């Protein structure tokens, strides 16, 4: 009994020693799944509380009011909040380039042209993936400005995926198409033929690369030593997990982590792994995979939003200058760089049972 009491006491002490990070995200990404399931956060003394955000408006309200310490969201949202709304949000790194980002429809819709006159469900018509949708649909001759289709606001990808599979919103409104991404594109393909969404177009076939998910914080966190130190540890853990994920030697362990986090079969998790490690659109930040923002990718995001009138900045605004990383800018690498340094000094140990995958 005494030994059992000592063990329990030690567990309580260890639990109390963990520092909490409030993390908001639309989905449990592959990198997060590896970090969470294989112990990278815990090893770094972190208790990461994951909150699935309902939509981009709520997500950015939560990062700005301090509810979240860090947020993973599409970088287009950060562009909108920083340049259109003058909100002090800061991007500290790129997570991915849009894994399995597709235009998907209900089974009875088999071509993009069939979407004419129909609503497309989105998170928000003025942020996130809405402008990428406009670009893809315009490639097939459909224009939002001409009334060929219209947007219907529903919420984040989980809500839209559910609506697409059910083919109807909770209020009975018919659903026809939306944009999907990891892990829902693959999950949809694993459904029965009557439920499986049709993939009408892949975003990467129309425009690539794009910077998709980005680590976003409120700018004030950079000048708060306690917050910055906590974020550095979080980013170091995520960097270790990302490096682990992208190393082919760790494929088996990564797939196990994805299967457990997502609650899917090994077969589905294997397909999710392929999506997350795709060399064009996966959870990558080339060339070093150190969370550096792909400048071509983010400029493509800017170009697409600008093409459809998505900026309210003064005429002649220099986006190239505005996107140069630095203190007080939209992109600031101070925390990312500190995290990469921490990673290089500290060998992370996964809890994977495969011997070759224990240390990283």
Sheet of 89-94: strand order equals 46-52, 19-25, 70-74, 213-218, 89-94
What are the DSSP calls for 153-187, one per residue?
E--SHHHHHHHHHHTB-TTS-B--EEEE-TTHHHH
196-216 residue pLDDT tens: 999 999 999 999 999 999 999
Mean pLDDT of 108-129: 95
Give CA–CA dist 340/343, Å, rounded: 5
Give CA–CA dist 344/240, Å, rounded: 9
pLDDT score at 304? 97
The region of weakest confidence among 150-154, 259-263, 353-357 is: 353-357
Crossing angle for the helix pair 30-37 and 225-246, to the nearest 10 degrees: 100
Per the prediction, the chain carries an average pLDDT of: 94
Domains and their CATH numbers in the chain? 2-97+211-357 (3.40.190.10), 102-206 (3.40.190.10)
The region of weakest confidence among 20-29, 61-70, 350-359 is: 350-359
pLDDT score at 96? 98
Give CA–CA dist 89/47, Å, rounded: 24
Give CA–CA dist 102/183, Å, rounded: 11
123-168 residue pLDDT tens: 999 987 999 999 999 999 999 999 999 999 999 999 999 999 999 9
pLDDT score at 230? 98
Q: Within 10 A of 202 (CB to CB), how many other CB atoms are there?
A: 16
Mean pLDDT of 169-174: 96
């Amino acid at each position: 009994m005494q030994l059992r009491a000592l063990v329990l006491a030690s567990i309580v002490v260890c639990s109390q020693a963990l520092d909490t990070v409030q993390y908001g995200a639309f989905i449990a990404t592959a990198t997060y799944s590896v970090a969470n399931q294989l112990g990278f956060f815990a090893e770094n003394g972190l208790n990461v509380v994951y909150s699935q955000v309902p939509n981009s408006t709520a997500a950015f309200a939560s990062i700005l009011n301090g509810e979240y310490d860090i947020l993973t969201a599409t970088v287009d949202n950060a562009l909108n909040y920083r340049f259109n709304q003058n909100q002090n949000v800061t991007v500290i790194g790129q997570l991915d380039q849009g894994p399995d980002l597709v235009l998907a429809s209900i089974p009875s819709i088999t071509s993009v042209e069939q979407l004419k006159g129909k609503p497309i469900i989105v998170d928000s018509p003025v942020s996130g993936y809405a402008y990428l949708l406009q670009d893809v649909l315009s490639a097939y001759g459909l224009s939002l400005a001409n009334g060929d289709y219209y947007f219907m606001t529903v919420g984040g990808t989980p809500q839209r995926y559910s609506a697409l599979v059910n083919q109807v919103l909770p209020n009975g409104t018919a659903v026809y198409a939306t944009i999907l991404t990891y892990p829902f594109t693959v999950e949809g393909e694993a459904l029965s033929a009557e439920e499986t969404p049709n993939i009408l177009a892949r975003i990467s076939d129309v425009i690539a690369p794009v910077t998709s998910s980005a680590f976003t914080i409120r700018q004030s966190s950079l000048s708060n030593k306690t917050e910055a130190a906590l974020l550095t540890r979080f980013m170091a853990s995520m960097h270790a997990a990302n490096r682990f994920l992208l190393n082919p030697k760790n494929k088996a362990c990564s797939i196990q982590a994805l299967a457990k986090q997502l609650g899917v079969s090994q077969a589905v998790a294997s397909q999710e792994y392929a999506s997350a490690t795709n060399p064009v659109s996966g959870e990558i930040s080339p060339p070093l995979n150190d969370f550096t923002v792909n400048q071509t990718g983010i400029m493509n995001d800017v170009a697409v939003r600008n093409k459809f009138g998505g900026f309210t900045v003064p005429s002649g605004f220099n986006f190239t200058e505005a996107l140069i990383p630095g203190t007080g800018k939209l992109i600031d690498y101070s925390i990312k760089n500190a995290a990469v340094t921490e990673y290089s000094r500290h060998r992370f140990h996964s809890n994977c049972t495969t011997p070759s995958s224990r240390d990283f």
